[in-house]
Structure 1
Amino acid sequence: MSTRVISYRLLPLMLVALCALLVACGGSTQTGSSATPAATQAPANDYYGKPINMPKAAPQRIISLTASTSEILGALGLQSRVIGVDAFTNYPTDLAKLPKVSSTQGYNVEQIIALKPDLVLSSGGLTKQYDSKLKDSGVNIVDLSLTNFSQTFDQIQLVGRLTYSEAKANDLVAQLKKERDDIEQKVAGAPAPRVLLEVDDSTPGKPYVFGGGSFGDELLQDASATNIFHSNTANEGYPQVTDEAVLSANPQIVILTEDPAYGGTPDSVYKRANWSTIQAVKDRKVYRVNADIMQRPGPRLVQGLQCVAQIVHPDKFPGALPDYCTGTV
């Protein structure tokens, strides 16, 4: 396991928890935008709680150090300005092909400096041990604050401000919020079954789960489901629990978000010792959802909400689950 809850092999980039609101609506100096310049907007704080200095010009050489920030940059159409990404960026495809500045062993500070970026984006303190080295070398690195589901929209807008793409970011957020509202309306008033939303079971008998304050917890609420570990806010909302705690809570539905290559399959759950008494196992209601759309606080979280809501309330959604629910990228 990494120093965060989600291991490197399971996209550690995504450890996020409930914390201070990231930003207010920002501005842009993009040509044709009616917004005021980004530098005149209310200051936003980074992961360390320090005000972020907005670039004086639109960055042209951007490096992304997390898969979530890569997905945000891609959704904003900034692929042509990105020159390097982390080892776990696999979406969108054109960003996944760029030079990798990290591996499962860590980040290559010398490589990052050599690429001469004018903006480096990280998130949630994942690169905490490297941030000061990069700053001391004159690299403009912004380690974005932790987010829950709602605050992910604020983070998208913040990246829009940092890259002078605020108009695009505002349009994207408006679209995502509408999609989220549409899903919430479909399940409004529906019974909320007990759900286990699992993050990682790499330690048998002691799974990591989405607890209170995490974006997964908020996502379950939006899907009209009850998180069996809502009251557990340990480890920034990503507690490691015991099989005994799961058995006691007796979830009616189990949703896995880890990679299939590392245990994230329903068949593996049906074979877990002592889990045969759990209602979800007895009813064969164990599901897997694409780890990438469930463990990255970015534009595709709304797809994750769609998958969870449809699994929990299939009667509210016609047709089969979208392909992205069961994909691996």
Structure 2
Amino acid sequence: MKLLARLAFAALLAVFAIAAQALVVTDERGVAVDLPKPPQRIVTLLPSLTESVCTLGACDRLVGVDRYSNWPESVRALPQVGGGIDPNVEAIVGLKPDVVLPARSSRVTERLEALGLKVVVLEPKNHADVRRVLDVLGRVLGTDDAQRVWRAIDAAVTAAAQAVPESVGHTRVYFEVNGGPYAASESSFIGETLARLGAKNIVPGSMGPFPKLNPEFVVRADPDLIMIGERNAQGMEQRPGWSRIKAVRNGRICRFSADEADVLVRPGPRMGEAARLMARCLSSTLERK
């Protein structure tokens, strides 16, 4: 009887241990996702989520990533499952993940869930979103580092802002995210960083975080400074009417390398580095006045 009692007690402790690890998180859709324990096999479908998982100390739990995830260096060796919007479902299933982390724009979320996979949808678009997503990821991963990471990001942005000369204040900036053209507005994480650096974004937040613009909009807005990745800058000066833009006439264009552009357009742990890149751009344009 004593042996049976001990076995029953041990089984009860095991149940309590499992229950203690189980958690429920609410994702971008407002869907409550129950996870029996912190996942050990994770697939990410957004570069910023890949970077956040790694910065939270769980890079070793990644078993697959989207084709654009390339930082830190170790993730380049992981299986790629296609693009974030329309990834290869069969490849994801084959990796047997405990959880998949896609963006809200992904087209395969419902299909993955129908196949029995746990899916937590996360897609930060502004600073508050980044902090919230880090918190959710921290809970998913079972780590308490999320707020430490956020404080480091916030402190780095503040330091970058303090390094920008006051004379840069109110410089009117156009930030092109990619071809289309798609721009970063005031309400995006990029726009919020620009505001903290003292710059003025020509694209209002009312247009959405990353609106597709008519190129004539930029001509009419006539920015003082253009920030753009070198991949998108090819032939920019030849766009209709763009030769009249003040920034083009005065050569006040910051062309970022491919690696720098990746840092700038990903809302995650490297936002402090992105702020430093933008601050350097703003400061250097003073020399071209």
| TM bin (shorter chain) | 0.7 to 0.9
Contact conserved, 1:61 with 1:117, CA < 8 A, in 2? Answer: yes
Contact conserved, 1:222 with 1:305, CA < 8 A, in 2? Answer: no
Contact conserved, 1:38 with 1:161, CA < 8 A, in 2? Answer: no
Contact conserved, 1:120 with 1:140, CA < 8 A, in 2? Answer: yes
Label 1:238 to 1:315 Cα distance change in 2 as closer, same or farther (>3 A): closer
1:116-195 alignment, distance < 5 Å: 116-123=96-103, 125-127=104-106, 129-166=107-144, 168-187=145-164, 190=167, 191-195=169-173
Please identify the structure whose Cα radius of gyration is greater. 2
Matched position secondary structure for 1:302: helix
Contact conserved, 2:165 with 2:283, CA < 8 A, in 1? Answer: no
Label 1:119 to 1:49 Cα distance change in 2 as closer, same or farther (>3 A): same
Amino acid at match of 1:245: F
Compare relative contact order (CA 8 Å, sep 6+) and give the higher one, 1 or 2.
Answer: 1
CA distance in 2, matches of 1:157, 1:118: 19
User: Does residue 58 in structure 1 map to residue 32 in structure 2?
Assistant: no
CA distance in 2, matches of 1:283, 1:120: 47
Give identity over the alignment, percent. Answer: 28
CA distance in 1, matches of 2:282, 2:262: 20
> Between Structure 1 and Structure 2, which shows a larger proportion of helix residues?
2
Report the Cα offset of residue 188 of structure 1: 8.1
Amino acid at match of 1:87: R
Residues 277-301 of structure 1: CA distance to partner in whole angstroms, max 9, x if unpaired? 2111121111123221122111112
- Equivalent in 72, 91, 107 of residue 87 of structure 2: 107
Label 1:38 to 1:291 Cα distance change in 2 as closer, same or farther (>3 A): farther
2:211 — aligned with what? 239
- Equivalent in 47, 63, 67 of residue 67 of structure 1: 47
Unaligned runs of 5+ in 2: 1-19
Tell me which stretches of 4 or more aligned residues in structure 1 moved more than 6 Å: 37-40
Residues 180-217 of structure 1: CA distance to partner in whole angstroms, max 9, x if unpaired? 2222333485521110011223x4xxx22112321121
Report the Cα offset of residue 49 of structure 1: 1.9
CA distance in 2, matches of 1:283, 1:89: 36
CA distance in 1, matches of 2:46, 2:85: 14
CA distance in 1, matches of 2:152, 2:74: 23
- Equivalent in 175, 186, 189 of residue 215 of structure 1: 189
Unaligned runs of 5+ in 1: 1-36, 317-329
Contact conserved, 1:83 with 1:99, CA < 8 A, in 2? Answer: yes
For the aligned residue pairs, the C-alpha RMSD in angstroms reads: 2.5
- Equivalent in 73, 83, 86 of residue 93 of structure 1: 73
Residues 40-77 of structure 1: CA distance to partner in whole angstroms, max 9, x if unpaired? 8xx75312122343x34221111111111111112122
2:3 — aligned with what? none
Report the Cα offset of residue 315 of structure 1: 9.0
Residues 146-168 of structure 1: CA distance to partner in whole angstroms, max 9, x if unpaired? 431232122122211111122x3
TM-score, length-scaled by structure 1 = 0.73
Matched position secondary structure for 1:313: helix
Label 1:145 to 1:88 Cα distance change in 2 as closer, same or farther (>3 A): closer
Residues 90-140 of structure 1: CA distance to partner in whole angstroms, max 9, x if unpaired? 1111112101112489312122122211121112x122x211111122111
Matched position secondary structure for 2:64: strand
Aligned residues: 263
